[in-house]
Amino acid sequence: MKLTAFTIAASFLCLIGCQSNNEEPASVAETPAQTESVAESKVVLFGLYTADKASTVVEEFAPTIDSLEKSVNEKLEEPIEIQFKIANEYQQGISQIADGTVHFSRLGPASFVLSKEQNPDLQLLAMESKKGERVFNGIIAIHADSDIETVEGLAGKSFAFGDELSTIGRYLSQALLLEAGLSSDKFEKYEFLGRHDTVGMAVAAGDFTAGALKESTFKKLVEDGQPIKALTKFDNVTKPWVAHQSLDSKIVEAISQSLLEMESSSVSKDGFLTATEAHYAPVREAMTASKKF
């Protein structure tokens, strides 16, 4: 039996936990049979970047990648082993799919647009489904005790964005603010904080009046007791899965088919849908609009 994606993820999580307790990192022992099996498999690298904590991201994706690996192997004559390659930030994640450091990736919509600018030959595999639709929500969050009722009411206040390359954390939220007449000079201050959970925690702590983050992270923070609420919601296109052109076409087809056959997964509970570049046109428009922020 070879090492599965879940085993790799578990090892990754253990490494983080051991380091936080000043212990020596544990390793996953391979038997001779495992080593031989891995050697016989073609390694396919799956790229991710950390929009939330790295441990959370890997734990979330491991079951889906295990299921995908099994399905792809059933479709191919030669076995493959899918391994994670985690990027610490958005730009690294974009670069590693654009230059072929990884074979396929799950990207944010804006990251897909930027990666296609770097490498027009990237191929769309599928896009995640949200209750059968290709749309999910971003949130402008404020403190639970705030009396602000409209986006316009944020004038003269402070705002926390996510990563400078984030679809929700920057481009779509800035386009929304501009529609409300709020450019950067209308705020007391604004900063880019990186991860979505960091933005939510900063608003909860009162460090910023408002912040932009994805709805799933917002809901998780609220469930954990963080004092934040939604000022408004806005639409975002669901996330694309993308392959580098160097990946064997048979594997590309098998991955795409396997994703589209998934009725649910740990990542996209409603499965996956076919994708075209036209689905991401609204994001391109928001990215252009945000230049005026």
Same structural domain, 154 and 36: no
Same structural domain, 46 and 105: yes
pLDDT in tens, 68-120: 999 999 999 889 999 999 998 889 999 999 999 999 999 999 999 999 999 99
Same structural domain, 200 and 248: no
What's the confidence (pLDDT) of residue 153? 97
pLDDT at 187 over 90: yes
In a domain, 202, yes or no: yes
What's the confidence (pLDDT) of residue 1? 33
What is the domain extent for residue 198? 135-237
pLDDT at 128 over 60: yes
Same structural domain, 193 and 251: no
Same structural domain, 103 and 182: no
Task: State how many domains the chain has.
Answer: 2
Same structural domain, 243 and 176: no
DSSP labels, the chain: -PPPHHHHHHHHHHHHHHHHTT-PPP-----HHHHHHHHHSEEEEEEEE-SS-HHHHHHHHHHHHHHHHHHHHHH-SS-EEEEEEEESSHHHHHHHHHTTSSSEEE--HHHHHHHHHH-TT-EEEEEE-BTTBSEEEEEEEEETT----SGGGGTTSEEEE--TT-IIIIIIHHHHHHHTT--GGGSSEEEE-SSHHHHHHHHHTTSSSEEEEEHHHHHHHHHTT--EEEEEEEEEEPPEEEE-TTS-HHHHHHHHHHHHH-S--SS-TT-EE---GGGGHHHHHHHHHGGG-
In a domain, 287, yes or no: no
Same structural domain, 20 and 98: yes
Same structural domain, 120 and 47: yes
CATH code: domain of residue 200: 3.40.190.10
pLDDT in tens, 239-278: 999 999 999 999 999 999 999 999 999 999 999 999 999 9
pLDDT at 33 over 70: no
